[in-house]
């Protein structure tokens, strides 16, 4: 066990952190939209956002490949702007992990925002505040525990993404091989000790995060 | 500055009424609780010049919906709301100013203080555009005027109900509103604190001269504050005027009940004297019967009538009040004494149960207590024959 390869683990952490940052911004915005606005197709949007939670990861990965692949207009545009493709790079892994985590952020933040008394938001409006400032000064602080919980769940989920990441980013050791994929690889190749180390580390980190999330959302209620 | 309101809004089984929950600004009402299973329409028109106007009525009569319409939280189905000619809402012209542009100060029934901010931050909340020092100075002056400076660093969860009420008031006033809306601000406060806040509200009123629309179903508050009273019943204005007119001379039974005239009795005309200008009515309640003289009217002998006698018109004496012009003199025994905000209500069993309002001083001087024998006296013209419309 002298030569443990830490690359998959550090890649996973980097991918999960960046994915969480993106997905919290998008997810909280969607959660607010679903909690506070009435519009046509609201429940349909909610259902669509929930899909990554229930679809087979391979199906999700397939969609992403088709949508973001080098031959698709979106993939083409990304390559034109950034100079490199998204698929089969670590950035692809960020997208795959982020999409998987999105439902958790939307659901959790929607619940947290619904729990904020609309009277408080209306009071802020009567005091001259715009919708944007009402969100930052009233809604967000009062929903913050739920939103922090959402971010931690998202991070835990992104850290463990396997199927979609494998489809979109591939399994290129030293480039796109995240911890979850590396465990699969090691187990297949009979490197059981290496697999076990990664498994234990991932389990410990995830357990801590989920435990902290529960503490945040259940305590002081 | 004058607030003009003319609105219509269907209040169905989803009536917002006096419920705490508020629909989102987009106008959906699905989150609002039901006040009446069968709906009715709020259809009112009134003006509020500077000073206190009391919006008076039972729960679910549309008072809170009116305030929410003025502030822009609820959108009326039709109508027009303006302050000094500046239109806030007009269904015809499709004008509907957003809440933040209306300049309407609103003290919510549940106060809606921001629980995550200190009292000082709550009071400063609406002045975020102003420079920091200016904000601080104005907040401190306002907290000083409302006597809550000592709570500045605490959070709303750590102050008393009376203090919270003053914080909500200070927060609304620092934004310099053009109109102030108060939704049952004193309903959850003990009597002593209430008197203090009422006197502060009065001095604020003298200073600011804003139109202040004050919702309550408490008669004492209405009388102590009101320059004008607007009485609501199921979405309609059923009476309006100075408190003395509205509370003193009720026209219909429903208004009498709403405005809290304590003595309302069913009776039978048993005698008429056109020359004397009086009729004798036999009234009854659960505890007995009694004869009273009322003003001469068109009612026939043996006709059923309802009469109302405001409790403030009844004189209490410890001996028979002879040689007065008072036609109605009844002797009885005190059955209960109840302290209210600005008066004491003495219940006397004299045939039926009568309620008389007196001052605390009078209770002390006459040595009134339960079981004591007393005389009641009131004028013929203190007995109002009510229309039987409701």
Q: Does the pLDDT at position B79 exceed 60?
A: yes
- What pLDDT is stored for residue B130 in this prediction? 85
Q: Does the pLDDT at position B20 exceed 80?
A: no
pLDDT band at B152 (very low <50, low <70, confident <90, very high): very high
- Report the pLDDT averaged over residues B52-76: 91
Residues in B touching A119 (Cβ below 8 Å): 20-22, 108, 110, 112
Residue in A36, A137, A142 closest to B24 by CB = A36
- What pLDDT is stored for residue B346 in this prediction? 92
User: Following CA atoms B37, B40, B46, B48 in sequence, which dihedral angle do they give, to the nearest 10 degrees?
Assistant: 20
For chain B, give every domain's residue range.
Answer: 3-257, 263-385
Residues in B touching A126 (Cβ below 8 Å): 71, 73, 99-100, 102, 104-106, 172
- Report the pLDDT averaged over residues B117-144: 92
pLDDT band at A37 (very low <50, low <70, confident <90, very high): very high
- What pLDDT is stored for residue B29 in this prediction? 39
The residues that bridge with B182 in the sheet, in sequence order, are B107, B214
B105:A129 CB<8 A: no
Taking Cα atoms as reference points, which of B206, B363, B381, B210 lies closest to residue B295?
A: B381
Q: Does the pLDDT at position A66 exceed 80?
A: yes
Q: Does the pLDDT at position B320 exceed 50?
A: yes
A172-198 pLDDT, tens digit per residue, is 988 999 999 999 999 999 999 999 999
Give B263-385's CATH code, choosing from 3.40.50.2000, 2.40.50.140, 3.30.1330.30, 2.40.50.100. Answer: 2.40.50.100
B156 touches chain A (CB under 8 A): no
- The domain over range B3-257 is classified in CATH as 3.50.50.60: no
A38 touches chain B (CB under 8 A): yes
Look-up of token digits 């809606």: B112
B128:A141 CB<8 A: no
- Which residues, other chains included, contact B318 with Cβ-Cβ below 8 Å and sequence gap of 6+? B366, B367, B372, B373, B374, B375
Q: Does the pLDDT at position B239 exceed 90?
A: no
Residues in A touching B108 (Cβ below 8 Å): 119, 122-123
Q: Does the pLDDT at position B388 exceed 80?
A: no
A107-152 pLDDT, tens digit per residue, is 999 999 999 999 999 999 999 999 999 999 999 999 999 999 999 9
- Which residues, other chains included, contact B331 with Cβ-Cβ below 8 Å and sequence gap of 6+? B320, B350, B373, B374, B375, B376
Question: How far apart are alpha carbons A35 and A107 in whole angstroms?
Answer: 10
pLDDT band at B382 (very low <50, low <70, confident <90, very high): confident
Q: Does the pLDDT at position A79 exceed 80?
A: yes
- β-strands B328-339, B344-350 pairing: antiparallel
Q: Does the pLDDT at position B259 exceed 70?
A: no
- Report the pLDDT averaged over residues B106-129: 93
Least confident of A97-106, B111-120, B317-326, B350-359: B317-326
Chosen for mutation from A126, A129, A132 (greatest number of chain B CBs closer than 10 Å) is A126
pLDDT band at B58 (very low <50, low <70, confident <90, very high): confident
Q: Does the pLDDT at position B319 exceed 70?
A: yes
- Report the pLDDT averaged over residues B319-332: 87
B194 touches chain A (CB under 8 A): no
Of A107-116, A206-215, B56-65, B311-320, which one has max mean pLDDT?
A107-116
Question: How far apart are alpha carbons B92 and B90 in whole angstroms?
Answer: 5
Q: Does the pLDDT at position A221 exceed 60?
A: no
For B124, name the nearest residue in chain A, comparing CA atoms only.
A127
Sign of CA dihedral A22, A23, A29, A32: negative
ipTM for this prediction = 0.83
- What pLDDT is stored for residue B17 in this prediction? 41
Phi and psi, residue B166, nearest 5°: -70, -35
pLDDT band at A100 (very low <50, low <70, confident <90, very high): very high
pLDDT band at B220 (very low <50, low <70, confident <90, very high): confident
Q: Are the CB atoms for B70 and B273 separated by under 8 Å? A: no
pTM of the predicted structure, to 2 decimals:
0.76
A120:B125 CB<8 A: no
- What pLDDT is stored for residue A78 in this prediction? 87
pLDDT band at B26 (very low <50, low <70, confident <90, very high): very low
Q: Does the pLDDT at position B84 exceed 60?
A: yes
Mean pLDDT of chain B: 84
Residues in B touching A112 (Cβ below 8 Å): none
| Tokens standing for residue B332 | 């009885």
C-alpha B270: how far from chain center: 36
Long-range CB contacts (within 8 A, 24+) of B34-40 = B35/B11, B35/B59, B35/B60, B36/B11, B36/B60, B37/B13, B38/B13, B39/B10, B39/B11, B39/B12, B39/B13, B39/B15, B40/B11, B40/B234, B40/B235
- What pLDDT is stored for residue B150 in this prediction? 95
Q: Which domains does chain A have, with CATH numbers?
A: 7-218 (1.10.3720.10)
Q: Does the pLDDT at position B37 exceed 70?
A: no
pLDDT band at B250 (very low <50, low <70, confident <90, very high): low
Mean pLDDT of chain A: 91
């Amino acid at each position: 066990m002298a030569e443990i390869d830490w690359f998959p683990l550090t890649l996973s952490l980097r991918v999960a952190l960046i994915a969480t940052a993106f997905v919290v911004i998008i997810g909280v915005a969607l959660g607010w939209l679903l909690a506070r606005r009435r519009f046509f197709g609201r429940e349909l949007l909610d259902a669509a956002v929930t899909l990554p939670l229930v679809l087979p990861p391979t199906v999700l990965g397939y969609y992403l490949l088709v949508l973001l692949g080098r031959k698709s207009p979106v993939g083409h545009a990304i390559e034109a702007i950034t100079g490199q493709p998204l698929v089969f790079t670590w950035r692809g892994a960020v997208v795959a992990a982020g999409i998987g985590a999105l439902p958790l952020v939307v659901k959790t933040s929607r619940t947290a925002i619904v729990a904020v008394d609309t009277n408080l938001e209306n009071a802020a409006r009567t005091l001259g505040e715009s919708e944007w400032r009402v969100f930052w000064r009233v809604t967000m602080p009062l929903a913050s525990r739920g939103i922090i919980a959402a971010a931690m769940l998202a991070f835990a989920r992104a850290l463990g993404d396997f199927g979609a990441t494998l489809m979109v980013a591939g399994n290129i050791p030293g480039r796109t091989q995240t911890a979850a994929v590396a465990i699969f690889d090691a187990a297949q190749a009979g490197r059981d000790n290496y697999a076990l180390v990664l498994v234990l580390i991932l389990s410990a980190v995830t357990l801590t995060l989920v435990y902290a999330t529960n503490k945040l959302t259940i305590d002081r209620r | 500055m004058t607030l003009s309101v003319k609105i219509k809004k269907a209040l169905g089984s989803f009536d917002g009424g006096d419920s705490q929950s508020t629909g989102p600004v987009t106008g959906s009402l699905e989150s609002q609780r039901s006040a009446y299973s069968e709906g009715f329409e709020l259809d009112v028109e009134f003006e509020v010049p500077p000073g206190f106007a009391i919006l008076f009525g039972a729960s679910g009569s549309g008072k809170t919906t009116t305030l929410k319409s003025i502030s822009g939280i609820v959108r009326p189905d039709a109508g027009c709301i303006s302050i000094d000619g500046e239109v806030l809402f007009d269904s015809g012209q499709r004008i509907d100013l957003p809440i933040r542009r209306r300049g309407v100060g609103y003290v919510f029934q549940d106060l809606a203080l921001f629980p995550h901010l200190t009292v000082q931050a709550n009071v400063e909340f609406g002045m975020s555009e102003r420079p920091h020092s200016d904000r601080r100075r104005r907040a401190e002056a306002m907290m000083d005027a409302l006597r809550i400076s000592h709570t500045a660093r605490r959070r709303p969860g750590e102050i008393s109900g009376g203090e919270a009420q003053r914080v909500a008031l200070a927060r609304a006033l620092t934004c310099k509103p053009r109109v102030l809306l108060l939704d049952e601000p004193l309903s959850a406060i003990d009597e002593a604190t209430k008197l203090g806040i009422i006197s502060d509200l009065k001095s604020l009123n003298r200073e600011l001269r804003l139109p202040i629309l004050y919702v309550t179903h408490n008669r004492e508050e209405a009388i102590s504050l009101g320059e004008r009273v607007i009485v609501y019943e199921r979405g309609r204005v059923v009476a309006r005027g100075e408190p003395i007119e509205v509370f003193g001379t009720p026209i219909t039974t429903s208004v009498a009940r709403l405005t809290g005239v304590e003595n309302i009795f069913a009776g039978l005309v048993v005698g008429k004297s056109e020359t004397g200008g009086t009729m004798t009515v036999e009234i009854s309640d659960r505890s007995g019967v009694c004869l009273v003289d009322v003003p001469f009217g068109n009612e026939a002998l043996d006709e059923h009538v309802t009469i109302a006698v405001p409790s403030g018109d009844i004189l209490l004496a410890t001996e028979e009040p002879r040689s007065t012009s008072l036609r109605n003199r009844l002797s009885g025994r005190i059955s209960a004494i109840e302290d209210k905000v600005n008066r004491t209500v003495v219940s006397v069993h004299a045939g039926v149960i009568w309620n008389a309002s007196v001052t605390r001083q009078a209770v002390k001087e006459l040595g009134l207590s339960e079981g004591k024998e007393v005389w009641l006296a009131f004028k013929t013209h203190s007995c109002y024959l009510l229309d039987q419309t409701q």
